[in-house]
Amino acid sequence: MKNPEKEWFGNERVSASEKTQKVLGVFESVASRYDIMNDLMSGGVHRLWKDRLIRMIRPKAHERFLDVAGGTGDIAFRLKDATTPETEITISDINPEMLAEGQRRAIDKGYHGQFDWVEANAEKLPFKANSFDVYTIAFGLRNVTHIDKALADAYRVLKPGGRFFCLEFSHVKDPFLAKVYDIYSEKVIPRIGKVVAKDADSYQYLVESIRKFPRPKDLATRMEQVGFENVSYKAMSLGIVCVHIGYKF
């Protein structure tokens, strides 16, 4: 009998189906405290990274947007603020707990009825080909079981001329700063998770998943392999995060 496909879940090798379920469990656990944890882990800088992403997108009111792995609404809310109440924005996430948290926040912010919320796997989205002008995914691609399948489906759902934007943790280049960042990630972040979210294990996984994520040049190559053109990437905060950009022509 053929051995099942193995994927990285942090530093652990598991079957593809098991990884999907484990990632679901991680975000079910942290959904209600996700933004609080992001603030504590990044000193609030994640908000500046997301603001910078929106400025790079330069969203237009007539465009149709898809935010994948966007359950809590952070990117979609910024897109809405930069456009109009009538602008079409769809939020997709595989995790119903994250979507529910985002819907609660949308109501609190007065965005009632301004978004479409869809529970879906980024590897096989339930949308027609050539449907969206802009596809965004922020801090979600590294949690996808098969990154190349997600990239290919992102390409499929974009219209000709459509744009792909991925904001993701990356790899610090400076050796000294990389060492400091590794120590902080390994020793501090799981402890913060234990205190604030009562869940050290989930945040240990999040740290490990960053280290397993492809380096920018490697991800750029994989984007090109599924069809994206004019692929580029922009590092921020000394390489802690990176925005990856591609076009469908």
User: Residue 218 and residue 123: Cα distance in Å, rounded?
Assistant: 19
pLDDT for 27 beyond 80: no
Residue 1 has a pLDDT of 41
pLDDT for 30 beyond 70: no
Query: Which pLDDT band, with edges at 50, 70 and 90, does 132 fall under?
Result: very high
Note the pTM of the prediction, 2 decimals: 0.87
Query: Which pLDDT band, with edges at 50, 70 and 90, does 22 fall under?
Result: low
CATH code at 6-247? 3.40.50.150
User: pLDDT tens for residues 44-81?
Assistant: 899 999 999 999 999 999 999 999 999 889 999 999 99
Helix, strand, coil percentages for the chain (3-state, nearest 5): 50, 20, 30
pLDDT above 70: percentage of residues in the chain: 87
In order, the DSSP letters of 38-105 are HHHHHTTHHHHHHHHHHHHH---TT--EEEET-TT-HHHHHHHHHS-TTS-EEEEES-HHHHHHHHHH
pLDDT above 90: percentage of residues in the chain: 62
Residue 7 has a pLDDT of 65
Q: Where are the domains of the chain?
A: 6-247
Residue 119 has a pLDDT of 96
